[in-house]
Amino acid sequence: MNALLVNLLVTFILAVSFNVEALSPHYYEQSCPQADDIVTNAVKKAMSDDKTVPAALLRMHFHDCFVRGCDGSVLLDSKGKNKAEKDGPPNISLHAFYVIDNAKKALEEQCPGVVSCADILSLAARDAVALSGGPTWEVPKGRKDGRISKAIETRQLPAPTFNISQLRQSFGQRGLSMHDLVVLSGGHTLGFAHCSSFQNRIHNFNTQKEVDPTLNPSFAVSLKGVCPAHNKVKNAGATMDGSTTSFDNVYYKMLMQGKSLFSSDQALLTSHSTKNLVAKYASSNEEYERAFVKSMIKMSSIIGNGNEVRLNCRRVR
């Protein structure tokens, strides 16, 4: 039995090593040296027209990696009877797919059939952060595009209502730690949330309380003003923090003040270890940026089952 366990462990370690080594910042150095610049230009152009693009790209990448690994499956359109990931309930509000399309078109003109859609999305997420005033980093590349995309599998995405145990399980299943959970949650510094994502905290919280008592009272009142109990405004909601177009540590500062939107954000304060990390990053943007780079590289290295480079990011060949 011991020999069997050792063999299994060695096999696992070799498999993990292979996955890590499969990605490299220099993957396109010979085949498409201008890949990074082409994607950056596409993101810059889109941002000049729409300030919501960075948040959209960062969220898109996260949702891609958490379902089937980082294989670009979130980019595929539904076809025939197959409802794709982008049409699953948690992804209905995803947008800015055209940014990836534009980058892919430019790359196909320069380096036909070389750069995968999964890599384009990973590069675009990096650019979204860097161009919003956050850190930049060398993106390991070499991901392949997957052919399978099913809306039903978006159930695997962590929900905004998750508690700390559910979050631990969701991230742990993908090889991500509680530290990664806290750091990647900080990506909420960019973006906007619709009322439906935090309605549970401001209306009928439980049988005793109408509003989540962990919410700052004046903050809760402002949220109820934007999102009444029977809200009829389709795109009503609130920004995730007070500097929604800047990548910074304001998210953690607001969380410490009881001004977070999601139950899953508040959940970070219900564990001693995660609460300490929230406090750490609330007090140092520099520490947060360093940690974010490490956790993003780790998350974006979750290998999917892709085995091709799509010529069109919205459909398989």
> Would the annotation count 241 as a binding residue?
yes
Distance CA 164, CA 270 (A): 7
> Would the annotation count 71 as a binding residue?
yes
Q: H-type helices in 144-247, by residue range?
A: 164-172, 178-185, 199-202, 217-226
> Would the annotation count 127 as a binding residue?
no
> Would the annotation count 20 as a binding residue?
no
Identify the three-state secondary structure at position 145.
Answer: strand
> Would the annotation count 180 as a binding residue?
no
Distance CA 278, CA 83 (A): 38
> Would the annotation count 142 as a binding residue?
no
Q: Which of 63, 95, 179, 272 is catalytic?
A: 63
> Would the annotation count 122 as a binding residue?
no
> Would the annotation count 244 as a binding residue?
yes
Distance CA 144, CA 69 (A): 10
> Would the annotation count 158 as a binding residue?
yes
> Would the annotation count 278 as a binding residue?
no
Q: From residue 212, how far is each of 45, 83, 178, 205, 234 by CA, in Å?
A: 41, 36, 24, 6, 23
Distance CA 111, CA 115 (A): 7
Instruction: Tell me if residue 194 is catalytic.
Output: no
For CA atoms 169, 170, 175, 178, the dihedral sign is negative
Annotated binding site for substrate: 158
Residues noted as catalytic: 63
Annotated binding site: 64, 67, 69, 71, 73, 85, 158, 188-189, 241, 244, 248
Annotated binding site for Ca(2+): 64, 67, 69, 71, 73, 85, 189, 241, 244, 248
Annotated binding site for heme b: 188
